């Protein structure tokens, strides 16, 4: 059984969020967040590439030692 409350529901509920999403400030914040995520992604990709190169070099050294 639901409790009745004296609070009235806002008929425009959810529209304020939509207005915020359409604001230039929201767009700017989204761009900044995307930029930070891209920078993090680029840094991770660099680290992965360096790790692969180091692994390849170690593999080549091991091959040379076994010959």
Tally of domains within the chain: 1
Domain assignment present for 57: yes
Q: What pTM did the predictor assign?
A: 0.49
Taking CA atoms, 52 is separated from 3, 10, 29, 39, 47, in Å, by 61, 56, 35, 20, 9
Domain assignment present for 40: yes
Domain assignment present for 49: yes
End-to-end CA, the chain: 80
pLDDT confidence of 10, banded at 50, 70, 90? low
Domain assignment present for 50: yes
pLDDT digits (tens, 9 = 90+) for 44-61: 999 999 999 999 999 999
Domain assignment present for 42: yes
Instruction: Let me know: does 26 contact 20? Beta carbons within 8 Å.
Output: yes
* Helix pair 15-22, 24-66: axis angle to 10 deg: 70
Structural domain harbouring 51: 34-67
Domain assignment present for 1: no
Q: What is the model's pLDDT at position 36?
A: 78
């Amino acid at each position: 059984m639901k409790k009745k409350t004296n609070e009235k529901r806002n008929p425009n509920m959810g529209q304020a969020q939509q207005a915020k999403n359409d604001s230039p400030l929201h767009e700017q914040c989204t761009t900044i967040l995307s930029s930070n995520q891209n920078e993090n992604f680029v840094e991770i990709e660099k680290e992965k590439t360096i790790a692969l190169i180091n692994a390849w070099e170690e593999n080549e050294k091991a091959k040379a030692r076994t010959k």
